Structures are given as structure tokens and as C-alpha cells.
Amino acid sequence: MTNADQIFTPASLDDIFPPSITDAFFEALFGDAEEGAYDIRLRFEGQRPQELHFAFHLLQRHGMCLACNLTYGLPQVFTRHPLLGVGKLAQTLAERIDAGMASWSLGSTREMSRSLHVIPFTIKVA
């Protein structure tokens, strides 16, 4: 498998999954992007044979309370939300390493700190 660390840099992932998606996501959910308590960033976590490991980082916005928001139900929301298009995103990421996407999954939200929660995102490649 290709060395994904060189391909999936923070800058390249921000091109694939731009920071502007956060405001569009909250606009769709709440009707106002300012209502969002966090910014969403896609980050590469590592690779194993036939698997790519990413995470959606939920970064607390200034003056907001990430711990007070319902981030634990987000994997189900992310799975179905058409704006985020996680299935298409998985395909795009697999193609970046010249692989086919066999399946993808989101794990449970993990609280790394009061200001950072992460949602694991695993892609199985063919």
C-alpha cells in the first residue's frame, strides 16, 4: 500500500474536506452557522494493511461549550447527512492511494479533551 502519510497531510485533507463544510453543516441543521459549537476537520490517523484510519476532529469554537453539546450521536448523523457525503468521501480518499473502497465505518465519539472530540472513520480498501 502507498505511504498514506505523505498523501493525507492536513492541507490535502482540508482541500478534500474543506473547513467551510462546518458552516454549511450547521446552517443545514440549525439555520444559522453561528449556532455551531465546533469546527469539523478531517485528519489522517494511520494505515494498516487494507485499511485507512481517519478521524473527524470536532474542535471547540471560541466562547462555545463542546462538552455541553450532543456530540455522541454524531456518528449516526454524519453517516446519513448528504452534505457531508461520508460514503463519497471514503471513495475519494481510497482513490487517492489508487485503491478501491470496499467499505467504511464511523466509530463512537471519543472525548480527547474538553475542547476536542473525535469520531473515528475507517475505510477498508480493496
pLDDT per position as a tens digit, 74-105: 899 999 999 999 999 999 999 999 999 999 99
Task: Report whether pLDDT(117) > 90.
Answer: yes
Query: pTM for the full model?
Result: 0.92
Domain count, the chain: 1
Q: Residue 39 sits in which domain range?
A: 4-125
Q: How is the chain classified by DSSP, letter by letter?
A: ---HHHHS-HHHHHHHS-THHHHHHHHHHHS-GGG-SEEEEEEEEEEETTEEEEEEEEEEPTT--STTS--TTHHHHHHH-TTT-HHHHHHHHHHHTT--EEEEEE---EEEETTEEEEEEEEEE-
Give the pLDDT of residue 69: 65
